[in-house]
Structure 1
Amino acid sequence: MNKMWARSGVLATVAIAVAALAAGPAQAATGRLGWQATLLPLPAGANPAGRGYLTASDGHGEYTGSFIVDNKLQVVSWRGGKPVLRGVPDGFEWAMVQGEDSAGRVYGEALDYDTGADRTFTLDATGFHLWAAPPGYGDFGLHAVNRRGDAVGTLPTGDPAKHLPAVWPAGATAPTVLDWPAGTDGVTDIDDDGAILFNGFQRDVVWKNGVSRPLADIAGFSNPHGSAIRNGVVVGFASNANTSQAVRWTTPENPVPLTGGDYAIDLNGGGLTAGLAPIPGTSAGNPIAWRGTIPGGGLKQPGSYLSYQPFHVSDDGTFVGCASNGPLDEGGVPVIWRFNP
Structure 2
Amino acid sequence: MKKTWLRAGAIATVAIAVTALGAPADAAAIRIPWRPTILPLPPGATSGNITGSDGKGEYTGTFTVNGVTQAVSWRNGQPFLRGVPSGFERVDANDENSSGVVVGTIHDYETFTSRTYTLDASGYHIKDNPAGYQEVTGVAINTRGDVLGEAYQPKVGSAIVLWRADGSAPVVIPETGDVSNPRDLDDDGTILLDSGVGSALWKDGVLRYLSPSPAVQAEGSAIRNGVVVGWRTGQAARWSTPDGWVGLEGGGVATSINKAGLTVGLVPTPSGPQIYGNATVWRGTVPGVVQGPSGYSTFRAEVAADDGTLAGYASNDATPSSGVPVIWRLTP
Coarse TM-score class (shorter-chain normalised)? 0.7 to 0.9
Cα distance, 1:103 vs. partner?
Answer: 1.2
Residue 293 of structure 1: aligned partner: 285
Residue 108 of structure 1: aligned partner: 104
Q: 2:262 touches 2:281 (CA, 8 Å); kept in 1?
A: yes
The residue identity in structure 2 corresponding to 1:313 is A
Aligned match for 2:78, one of 76, 82, 87: 82
The residue identity in structure 1 corresponding to 2:302 is F
SS class of match (2:112)? coil
Q: Which runs of 5+ in 1 are unaligned?
A: 1-12, 15-30
Residue 253 of structure 1: aligned partner: 243
The residue identity in structure 2 corresponding to 1:39 is I
Greater displacement, 76-85 / 119-128? 119-128
Aligned residues: 302
Tell me the TM-score normalised to structure 1 length: 0.82
CA RMSD of aligned residues (A): 2.3
Bigger strand share: 2
Residue 35 of structure 1: aligned partner: 34
2 CA distance for matches of 1:238 and 1:34?
Answer: 26
Give 1:296-315 correspondences, 5 Å limit: 296-297=288-289, 299-315=290-306
Identity among equivalent positions (%) equals: 45
1 CA distance for matches of 2:116 and 2:150?
Answer: 11
1 CA distance for matches of 2:269 and 2:320?
Answer: 20
2 CA distance for matches of 1:216 and 1:330?
Answer: 30
Residue 4 of structure 1: aligned partner: none
Q: Residues 190 and 287 of structure 1: is their aligned pair in 2 closer, same or farther, counting only changes over 3 Å? A: same
Residue 271 of structure 2: aligned partner: 281
Q: Residues 139 and 280 of structure 1: is their aligned pair in 2 closer, same or farther, counting only changes over 3 Å? A: closer
Aligned match for 2:205, one of 201, 204, 210: 210
2 CA distance for matches of 1:253 and 1:127?
Answer: 42
Q: 2:70 touches 2:92 (CA, 8 Å); kept in 1?
A: yes
The residue identity in structure 2 corresponding to 1:266 is S
Q: Residues 305 and 138 of structure 1: is their aligned pair in 2 closer, same or farther, counting only changes over 3 Å? A: same
Q: Which runs of 5+ in 2 are unaligned?
A: 5-29
SS class of match (2:288)? strand
Bigger relative contact order (CA 8 A; separation at least 6): 2
Residue 194 of structure 1: aligned partner: 189
The residue identity in structure 2 corresponding to 1:251 is T
Residue 70 of structure 1: aligned partner: 66
The residue identity in structure 2 corresponding to 1:128 is Y
The residue identity in structure 2 corresponding to 1:338 is R
The residue identity in structure 1 corresponding to 2:323 is G
Q: Does 1:169 align with 2:159?
A: no
Residue 224 of structure 2: aligned partner: 230
1 CA distance for matches of 2:182 and 2:276?
Answer: 26
2 CA distance for matches of 1:109 and 1:327?
Answer: 28
